[in-house]
Amino acid sequence: MSDKALILIVDDSPTNLQVLAACVKDDHRIKVATNGLQCLQIAQAEPKPDLILLDVEMPGMNGYEVCQKLKSSDDTADIPVIFVTGLLGDKDEEKGLLLGAVDYITKPIRPAIVIARVKTHITLKLQRDKLNKMAFFDQLTGLYNRHYLIDMATKKVARALRHKYNLWVLMIDIDHFKNINDTHGHPMGDEILKLVASTLVSDNRSEDIAARFGGEEFVVMFDPCDLKNALVKAERIRTKIEQLNPHGIGVTVSIGMAKLVAEDATFERLLKRADEALYAAKENGRNRIEMSS
């Protein structure tokens, strides 16, 4: 995968597409669209563009309408949009900026201006992405961190209670992790944390959440899922981790399971039940799964 940023150029004029592409192709990857619908389809697909150069005057759906749709969707709202237009009025520029565009480039296209504006907004986008990653992700394992988990889990709990579907929480703790650190050193302990984290991710669907809760504790949330399949998932995680055996070191986990019930008004209550089940798993011999009543 290239480290170069991906720019989506949207214009119904082949000449304008060629001119804009020529301005940025040396430093960036490029995708093109010739109408608003194509733009929306490409923007929603992976990999998402890092920046969109969007013509205002297009047949069918114009640039303003496209920008409005981009900004109204959670999947595309964070993609910066630069309007490219022959309209010169302040009101036109104001309209575009109010819709959420980050900048305006006027025609005729001047390559130096395009290059400078694109460079500025790509830099800002990458800096924002880096800050978001630091805010939402655990730096060691790459999993979501505790703060992001609590924020997302609160929303998931409210949604599951409202729509009355199953939601499960697994509280997972690496057994005897202090002994691993004391015997093999903290660098090896860090490696084991990362291996366990990657195992959790490999077992997840895209809509599942896996987070490092703190220390050697992890949380996995998934929905909708019946009891049988939830138990299968938990046992699969336990077995996969037991089979890791990094550098000949035996690694096991204890897992506490809890299913959301009507009495769980908050994520904290659901998590507390999973934590109580985890405590029972440890009390009953570790390397096992216990279910909250």
Q: What is the CATH number of the domain that holds 287?
A: 3.30.70.270
Q: pLDDT at residue 88 above 90?
A: no
**Structure confidence at residue 110 (pLDDT):** 93
Query: What's the burial of 157, exposed, middle or buried (CB within 10 Å: 0-12/13-18/19+)?
Result: buried
**Structure confidence at residue 266 (pLDDT):** 87
**Structure confidence at residue 93 (pLDDT):** 80
**Per-residue pLDDT averaged across 98-126, rounded?**
93
Based on the residue annotation, tell me whether 94 is a catalytic residue of this protein.
no
Q: How many domains does the chain have?
A: 2
Residues spanned by the domain of 95: 6-134
**Per-residue pLDDT averaged across 153-173, rounded?**
92
Same domain membership, residue 124 and residue 150: no
Same domain membership, residue 52 and residue 91: yes
Whether the Cβ atoms of residue 101 and residue 10 lie closer than 8 Å to each other: no
Q: Which two tokens stand for residue 224?
A: 């909708």
Does residue 108 have a cis bond before it (omega within 30 degrees)?
Answer: yes
The pLDDT confidence band at residue 71, using thresholds 50, 70 and 90, is very high
Same domain membership, residue 150 and residue 124: no
Same domain membership, residue 180 and residue 113: no
Asked if residue 1 is part of any domain, the answer here is no
- C-alpha dihedral over 86, 102, 67, 35, to 10 degrees? 50
Q: How many CB atoms lie within 10 A of CB 284?
A: 10
Same domain membership, residue 170 and residue 123: no
Same domain membership, residue 91 and residue 207: no
The pLDDT confidence band at residue 89, using thresholds 50, 70 and 90, is low
The pLDDT confidence band at residue 86, using thresholds 50, 70 and 90, is confident
Whether the Cβ atoms of residue 82 and residue 104 lie closer than 8 Å to each other: yes
Residue range 224-252, pLDDT digits in tens: 889 999 999 999 999 999 999 999 999 99
The pLDDT confidence band at residue 133, using thresholds 50, 70 and 90, is confident
Which residues partner with 168 through β-bridges? 222, 259
Instruction: Give the span between the Cα atoms of 227 and 131, in whole angstroms.
Output: 38
Domain boundary among 105, 134, 163: 134
Same domain membership, residue 196 and residue 92: no
Asked if residue 139 is part of any domain, the answer here is no
Q: Which two tokens stand for residue 254?
A: 């204890």
Instruction: Give the span between the Cα atoms of 101 and 87, in whole angstroms.
Output: 15
**Could you tell me which residue, 25 or 203, shows the higher pLDDT?**
25
The pLDDT confidence band at residue 223, using thresholds 50, 70 and 90, is confident
- C-alpha dihedral over 132, 138, 143, 149, to 10 degrees? -70
Q: pLDDT at residue 10 above 80?
A: yes
Residue range 26-56, pLDDT digits in tens: 999 999 999 999 999 999 999 999 999 999 9
Selected catalytic residue, list 46, 57, 191, 216 = 216
What is the pLDDT of the chain when averaged over all its residues? 92
Q: In one letter, which amino acid is 247?
A: H
Q: pLDDT at residue 220 above 60?
A: yes
Q: pLDDT at residue 272 above 60?
A: yes
Q: Is 263 helix (H, G, I), strand (E, B) or coil?
A: coil
Same domain membership, residue 162 and residue 77: no
Q: pLDDT at residue 63 above 70?
A: yes
The pLDDT confidence band at residue 3, using thresholds 50, 70 and 90, is confident
**Per-residue pLDDT averaged across 258-277, rounded?**
92
Domain boundary among 108, 134, 160: 134
Same domain membership, residue 151 and residue 127: no
- Listed in sequence order, the DSSP H helices in 137-226 are 146-163, 177-184, 186-202
Same domain membership, residue 287 and residue 216: yes
Same domain membership, residue 163 and residue 125: no
- Listed in sequence order, the DSSP H helices in the chain are 14-24, 36-44, 63-71, 90-98, 111-136, 146-163, 177-184, 186-202, 227-242, 267-283
The pLDDT confidence band at residue 204, using thresholds 50, 70 and 90, is confident
The pLDDT confidence band at residue 2, using thresholds 50, 70 and 90, is low
Domain boundary among 78, 105, 134: 134
